[in-house]
A and B are shown apart, each in its own frame.
Chain A
Amino acid sequence: MIAAFFREIAVAILAIWNDKGARSTMLGATLFFSVFFPQPYLSEVVRDMPVAVIDQDGSTLSRELIRRIDAADAVAVARYTADMPSARALFLKRQVHGIVVVPPEFERDLLAGRAAPIAVFSDGGYFLLNSVMSSALSNAARSLGAEVQVGRLTASGVDTTQAMAIVEPLRVTTVPLFNPTGGYASFVLPAVFVLILQQTLLMGIGNLKAGRRSAGGLSTFADAIVYVALYSLWAGVVLVLLPWVYRLPRIGDIAVMYAVAVPFLAAVTAMGFAVARLIPSKEGVIFFLVVLGMPLFFLSGVSWPAEAMPGLLRAVAFVIPSTTAVPALVRVNQMGADLRSVETTVFVQLALCLAYSVLAVAVERWKKSRSA
């Protein structure tokens, strides 16, 4: 029995190596995608986004404001234009991604204690550029405004401490946790890596098993063990080694990661067998999985909050292992969550593993009874 089992294990390993499709998905594609996919995001943050300035005041304070805008890492004052139409033309040609208008009398109003508004036009078609513009501008405007106010108050005889207490009676500090620089690669990649594991594992199983008869319980079990073991190694590469290579924050405990990853990989493997038996052609399985990649990413709630999705959809999405495993692994690896915080996910994955195993067996029985 034991010997037979080990023989099946060896057979399963050789099967992966000998099948070109399985070799290229389970060995090649996993590595390829984890190197290729991160490329667009590797600079992490937007730096020196070009903006156009229309300075209608031309005063010391307007120049000071523009200097502060330019000093922000994320934006750079690239062009000075005389009027709105020419700035708009630059914007349409994508030579600038924001426009700042400092109106005439800016300095006079500010020094007289009146509100001195500035107009800012940002790019609503690209959300990241839009928020880069907002934060750079509000920081510059707030710091200049506060300084002028404190200056006015101290000039009227109030001491500095008291002036500060009037201008800013309550200090509001916002502390970004886990991804302190707001890096885009740090945000997207940890989730994408988990999804790459799921999709390439499913494709590999599809390549090996789609349209083929089951070779018996022991052999299938040995296959499953081999797949989970192989992908546990991949999990180490993709979730521990690659974040280190790409310098993504990772603070999690590796033991806790595996406590989630192994049940997850078992659930994916069981799902792979079920899918391979339901979709009889290799091409069908691969195509189905390539197309589903992006929708599954959005369903995981990492880029788009799960709270904003309808309850029914969230319930249905539960049947996909990645829906709960992606956020759980991100919480463990990037946020340092302990086992207690992700135990629900572990149970969900084990339940999915059981359910898909039952489904795979049922489909096989049904096919046999139909062909008999």
Chain B
Amino acid sequence: MERRAHLAAGFRRVLLAEMRQIGARPGLMFMLAPFPLLLFVLLAVVFQLGLPRDLPITVVDQDRSSLSRQMVRIIDATPEVAVTQEEGTLSEGRQRLLSGQAYGVVLIPPRTERDVLAGRRPEVVLFYNNQYMTPGSLVARSVGGALGTVAAGISIEARVARGADVESATQAVVPVPIRQSALFNPSLEYVQFLLAAVMPTVLQIFIGASAALSFSRDRQGVAGLGKSLRLGGTLTRTAAGKLAPYTLAYLLVLWGADALLFGPMGARFGGSLTFHVAYGVVFVLASQMLGAAAALVARDTVSALAAVGVITGPAFGFTGITFPRLSMNGFSDIWADLLPVTHYLELRTDNILRGAPLDISMPAFVWLASLALVYGGVTLLLLWRHGRPRPTQAGEGAR
């Protein structure tokens, strides 16, 4: 019992020392909660519309018939696109694409209406900017759909003219209709999709960097790591005491962002809250251990930060949220598994979006916990090595 109290006292002493350090550094305090929350608000504002609307497109109507005008009207009526310019030639339309004023050009060639009536199957072409893939494919889908509606109308008229009744003619237009439903996230909201994934990825940088800063500050200081170790008594208590203020701060940020996401922003939470809390805690711990280990491997503070930046900065591409993991090369697949955020996002998807039973999520949870343990083990090992009194330490301090 007495031993327990002693250990807890060591933890408390390191904790208080760390809090004093934070208190003396306004920049660090800003980085703990206000800055990540500001970034969250910034990203939330970027994706606030959920789905892009009224993407500008250009029409080159060389037919100027009632059919071509009907096409333009129906295209303009789709919510995702807006016909913002009409040009006389395709090269003028192309210029609109190049200067970024339009994402697509619809070309309706001369005699389109006449050719339709004569059964010559004229061609209407949509050129769209696929370099900008998100808006480009949205434009392709909505304009393609609108033109498909026009074509379907003509097809129905032709069948009715041949003696079919309207209902069977309508059915014949789309013989194999697809009832597509997205399992999970049926509204295909970008907020759910991107914001919910980008925020933890950005937070992983903050968490790793703060842990790295905390340990390299001690290492670079005159007293070295020895002082913290003496305060803490044991390696574990020292590490826990140093990291606890950050664990708490970033858990609050993580859950604060979730509260905004599932509260005012109206995202749907479909899973277990207890489990969400559990993997959130493990995620923050694993990211801290990653940062702490990096700080203890690197030679100075700037290199420690650079190492955390290199590992966590480009993490988003590896998580498989945008480009799927099943199509990645072997290196990326392995690297992705070493990043806490990959497993955290998978757990989030499983739990919140899919409401999957716990046994489905177990492999990812075990991965995340193992990363925390392995990085934590490395941290303790290096802490032990660097904390040993060394004859050279005095010389290093004087440098």
Chain A residues close to B by CB (< 8 Å): 20-21, 24-25, 29, 32-33, 36-37, 39-43, 45-47, 49-50, 65, 88, 91-93, 97, 99, 110, 113-131, 133-134, 137-138, 141-142, 144-146, 148-149, 161-162, 164-180, 182, 184, 186-188, 190, 207, 281-284, 286-287, 290-291, 293-295, 298-299, 301-305, 307-310, 313, 327, 330-331, 334-338, 340-342
Check A341/B95 contact, CB under 8 A, given A286-B302, A304-B46.
Answer: yes
Check A290/B305 contact, CB under 8 A, given A126-B324, A134-B180.
Answer: yes
Across the A-B interface, the 4 shortest Cβ-Cβ residue pairs: A124-B182, A124-B185, A145-B175, A165-B119
* A172 to B144 alpha-carbon distance, docked (Å): 7
**What residue in chain B is nearest A292 (Cβ atoms)?**
B39
* A224 to B349 alpha-carbon distance, docked (Å): 47
Interface flag for B172 (CB, 8 Å) = yes
Q: Would you give the shortest CB distance from A271 to chain B, in whole angstroms?
A: 18
**What residue in chain B is nearest A133 (Cβ atoms)?**
B180
A118 touches B97 (CB 8 A): no
Q: Please report whether the interface of chain B is mostly helix, strand, loop or mixed according to DSSP.
A: helix
Q: Would you give the shortest CB distance from B37 to chain A, in whole angstroms?
A: 13
B130 touches A92 (CB 8 A): no
A337 touches B98 (CB 8 A): yes
Q: Which residues of A contact B172 (CB under 8 A)?
A: 113, 149
A335 touches B175 (CB 8 A): no
Interface flag for B318 (CB, 8 Å) = yes
A33-B310, A287-B31 given; 4 more Cβ-contact pairs under 8 Å? A127-B322, A165-B158, A294-B201, A327-B100
Interface flag for B323 (CB, 8 Å) = yes
10 interchain pairs (CB within 8 A)?
A: A99-B183, A115-B177, A120-B178, A168-B155, A170-B123, A282-B302, A290-B308, A291-B35, A307-B56, A335-B131
Stretch of B223-231, B240-248, B279-287, B331-339 on the interface side: B331-339
Interface flag for B16 (CB, 8 Å) = no
A287 touches B324 (CB 8 A): no
**What residue in chain A is nearest B101 (Cβ atoms)?**
A341
B306 touches A286 (CB 8 A): yes
A171 touches B175 (CB 8 A): no
B176 touches A39 (CB 8 A): no
* A286 to B213 alpha-carbon distance, docked (Å): 12
Q: Please report whether the interface of chain A is mostly helix, strand, loop or mixed according to DSSP.
A: helix
B122 touches A171 (CB 8 A): yes
Check A43/B176 contact, CB under 8 A, given A174-B126, A299-B46.
Answer: no
Interface flag for B133 (CB, 8 Å) = yes
Q: Which residues of B contact A99 (CB under 8 A)?
A: 183
B184 touches A335 (CB 8 A): no
Partner of B327, one of A46, A131, A305, A341: A46
A29 touches B306 (CB 8 A): yes
Partner of B128, one of A118, A177, A291, A330: A177
Q: Which residues of A contact B360 (CB under 8 A)?
A: 92-93
B133 touches A169 (CB 8 A): no
* A220 to B364 alpha-carbon distance, docked (Å): 52
B52 touches A305 (CB 8 A): yes
Q: Would you give the shortest CB distance from A246 to chain B, in whole angstroms?
A: 12
Interface flag for B382 (CB, 8 Å) = no
Check A39/B130 contact, CB under 8 A, given A168-B151, A286-B309.
Answer: no
A123 touches B183 (CB 8 A): yes
B27-48 CB contacts (< 8 Å) to partner A: 27, 31, 35, 39, 42-43, 45-48
Q: Would you give the shortest CB distance from B310 to chain A, in whole angstroms?
A: 7
A130 touches B188 (CB 8 A): yes
B307-337 CB contacts (< 8 Å) to partner A: 308-310, 312-314, 316-318, 320-324, 326-329, 331-332, 335-336
A116 touches B183 (CB 8 A): no
Q: Would you give the shortest CB distance from A336 to chain B, in whole angstroms?
A: 7
B158-182 CB contacts (< 8 Å) to partner A: 158-159, 162, 168, 171-172, 174-182
A169 touches B174 (CB 8 A): no
Q: Which residues of A contact B112 (CB under 8 A)?
A: 170
B140 touches A176 (CB 8 A): yes
Partner of A170, one of B48, B150, B305, B354: B150
Q: Which residues of A contact B46 (CB under 8 A)?
A: 295, 298-299, 304, 309, 313
**What residue in chain A is nearest B170 (Cβ atoms)?**
A115
Interface flag for B366 (CB, 8 Å) = no
